[in-house]
A = this chain, B = another copy of it.
Amino acid sequence: MIPRYTRPKMAAIWEPENKFRIWFEIEAHACDAQAKLGVIPEAAAKAVWERGQFEVARIDAIEAEVKHDVIAFLTNLAEYVGDEARFVHQGMTSSDVLDTCLNVQLVQAADLLLQDLDELLAALEKRAFEHKMTVCMGRSHGIHAEPVTMGLKFASFHAEFQRNRDRLLAAREDIATCAISGAVGTFANVDPFVEEHVAEKLGLKPEPISTQVIPRDRHAMFFSVLGVIASSIERLATEVRHLQRTEVREAEEFFSKGQKGSSAMPHKRNPVLTENLTGLARMVRSYALPAMENVALWHERDISHSSVERYIGPDATVTLDFALARLTNVVANLVVYEDAIDRNLNQMGGLVFSQRVLLALTQKGVSREDSYSLVQRNAMKVWNGEGNLQDLLKTDPEVSAKMSAEEVDELFDLGYHTKHVDTIFKRVFGRSE
């Protein structure tokens, strides 16, 4: 966790305080279940809830000695609970606590991320409708193609992040399991009822079959989904960086008063937020791989996954949380320069209408190949600065033979390109107004 890329709510999930709180709840709920089964006295379960406490510093001190975190926690808990503490953790193995806790933390993280996504989606929707009909140049290969609208750009990202929301929701379900199944997952020393009870209390599903641990394919999937979301962040960040280029300058990250762009060049306004997001996306993406390598644990488990998760658990979720919030901020406050948008749109001498001309010629009976040649030879003149396409076509005798000047003029109409924007908005947002 890099402080500058960390927001407090997500960070709190990974604090020892939260972790031990979850451990406590797992143990205490398990005691309830064991008491119901008659395995331990009801009074013991009650005592755990009533007197059970822990202190992070004390646990650390004990762990330094016994070199085992769960034993350290249980020892500290026993200091508060007293004699009845011997009934705690009955038949359980450390991983029952650790793995169930990790999944609770990941579910908590997913819930924050879902909220982040909702805020991003709201910002995208707002900007999409605001600029639904702001016609701007569409570009493929970085080259002017045909007109789109700024609203369509936002809508495209909205649809993408909506898909990411669905994926994250599925990944949250995937990870929301609880295992209290003992040393090798056989329930030898603990009845499956305990697992079912704890799962229910914590809002999880029982893990149908575990080894000593909850299977890591679940986590691999979870972190892969975070990697995909990060990749979408990179796409939006890249779009903004392109739009803010000096030569394009159709949009700009909000530049607060007092902010300095460069220690050397006072005129500069750099898209530093989206550049930063590009880098953060690289990091979140990279965490998917060790998560996948974690799957192939030996036999009923080895502990190689654990150190990996100490890094990527916090780092992936905290970084993604920060990135989504920063992105939402960029989207919500993005300055859109309609003048520049218009200037760029008209820069190419009407070349963007070339395909429409091509189609019109084929409708007039010209073969596709001949139409292509006709359009291309005029397009090349425009490209070389010899005029605009509309005028050149009217003076090309082979074109005139097929189309009147009026017919040519009718083809050069931006409305032609925006006639289905409402249809697309309905698909994406369920509404076009």
A382 & B267 in contact (Cβ 8 Å cutoff): yes
A281 surroundings in chain B (CB, below 8 A): 296
Contact with B along A338-354 (1 / 0, CB 8 A): 00000010011001101
Main secondary structure of the interface of A (DSSP, over half): helix
CB interface residues, A 169-190, toward B, < 8 Å: 170, 174, 182-189
Cβ of A258 within 8 Å of any chain B Cβ, yes or no, is yes
Residue of B nearest to A227 (CB): B292
A220 surroundings in chain B (CB, below 8 A): 227-228, 231
The residue that A224 contacts in the complex, of B164, B228, B295, B308, with Cβ under 8 A, is: B228
A118 surroundings in chain B (CB, below 8 A): none
A141 & B418 in contact (Cβ 8 Å cutoff): no
The residue that A417 contacts in the complex, of B138, B144, B186, B242, with Cβ under 8 A, is: B186
| Interchain CA distance A252-B388 in the complex, whole Å | 21
| Interchain CA distance A358-B264 in the complex, whole Å | 8
Cβ of A19 within 8 Å of any chain B Cβ, yes or no, is no
A289 & B292 in contact (Cβ 8 Å cutoff): no
| Interchain CA distance A305-B231 in the complex, whole Å | 13
A142 & B186 in contact (Cβ 8 Å cutoff): no
Segment touching B, from A106-114, A154-162, A328-336, A395-403: A154-162
B355 & A265 in contact (Cβ 8 Å cutoff): yes
The residue that A427 contacts in the complex, of B188, B209, B228, B261, with Cβ under 8 A, is: B209
A183 & B138 in contact (Cβ 8 Å cutoff): yes
Interface range on chain A (Cβ under 8 Å from partner): 35 or more
| Interchain CA distance A405-B297 in the complex, whole Å | 39
Cβ of A29 within 8 Å of any chain B Cβ, yes or no, is no
B380 & A147 in contact (Cβ 8 Å cutoff): no
A140 surroundings in chain B (CB, below 8 A): 183-184, 211-212, 262, 268, 270, 299-302
Most buried by B among A278, A302, A379: A302
A416 & B159 in contact (Cβ 8 Å cutoff): no
Do A302 and B265 contact each other (CB < 8 Å), given the known contacts A188-B416, A208-B428? no
Do A299 and B142 contact each other (CB < 8 Å), given the known contacts A188-B416, A209-B152? yes
- Nearest Cβ in chain B — how far from A6, in angstroms? 11
Residue of B nearest to A149 (CB): B186
| Interchain CA distance A160-B207 in the complex, whole Å | 11
Do A283 and B302 contact each other (CB < 8 Å), given the known contacts A85-B368, A186-B152, A235-B297? no
Cβ of A57 within 8 Å of any chain B Cβ, yes or no, is no
A418 & B224 in contact (Cβ 8 Å cutoff): no
Do A232 and B295 contact each other (CB < 8 Å), given the known contacts A140-B184, A248-B247, A376-B267? yes
A75 surroundings in chain B (CB, below 8 A): 369
The residue that A282 contacts in the complex, of B167, B174, B294, B362, with Cβ under 8 A, is: B294
A206 surroundings in chain B (CB, below 8 A): 427
Cβ of A420 within 8 Å of any chain B Cβ, yes or no, is yes
Contact with B along A253-269 (1 / 0, CB 8 A): 00010111111111111
- Nearest Cβ in chain B — how far from A195, in angstroms? 10
A383 & B269 in contact (Cβ 8 Å cutoff): yes
Cβ of A421 within 8 Å of any chain B Cβ, yes or no, is yes
CB interface residues, A 122-166, toward B, < 8 Å: 137-148, 152, 155-156, 159-160, 163-164
Do A146 and B188 contact each other (CB < 8 Å), given the known contacts A71-B263, A141-B303? yes
